[in-house]
């Protein structure tokens, strides 16, 4: 059975829907990470945004490395 080709308008509409879905998912994840940061006490420390981003990237790398190596925990 041949699949019906989508029109450019249909593809554009789907892209817009997916962009909105991504935006909503990112906002939800930002809320979750913000709540976790507060639980961890990050809101009470005095550090520049650059220092916090650097530290968060280090944590992310640690967990990404652990996930890439099954059996190891971060």
Query: Is 57 in the same domain as 36?
Result: no
Do residues 74 and 61 lie in contact, with contact meaning Cβ atoms separated by under 8 Å? no
Tell me what pLDDT residue 66 has. 78
Query: Is 52 in the same domain as 31?
Result: no
Query: Is 30 in the same domain as 56?
Result: no
What domain range includes position 16?
1-40
Segment 45-63 shows an average pLDDT of 94
Number of domains composing the chain: 2
Q: Is 40 helix (H, G, I), strand (E, B) or coil?
A: coil
Per-residue pLDDT reduced to its tens digit, 4-34? 899 999 999 999 999 999 999 999 999 999 9
Query: Is 4 in the same domain as 18?
Result: yes
Query: Is 28 in the same domain as 7?
Result: yes
Determine if residue 46 is left, alpha or beta; phi over 0 gives left, psi from -120 to 50 gives alpha, anything else beta. Answer: beta
Band (pLDDT 50/70/90 cuts) for residue 1 is: low
Its pTM stands at 0.68
Do residues 43 and 37 lie in contact, with contact meaning Cβ atoms separated by under 8 Å? yes
């Amino acid at each position: 059975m041949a699949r019906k080709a989508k029109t450019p308008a249909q593809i554009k509409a789907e892209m817009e829907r997916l962009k909105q879905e991504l935006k909503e998912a990112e906002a939800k994840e930002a809320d979750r990470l913000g709540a976790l940061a507060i639980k961890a006490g990050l809101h009470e420390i005095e550090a520049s945004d650059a220092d916090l981003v650097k530290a968060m990237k280090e944590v992310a790398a640690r967990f990404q490395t652990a996930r890439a190596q099954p059996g190891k925990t971060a």
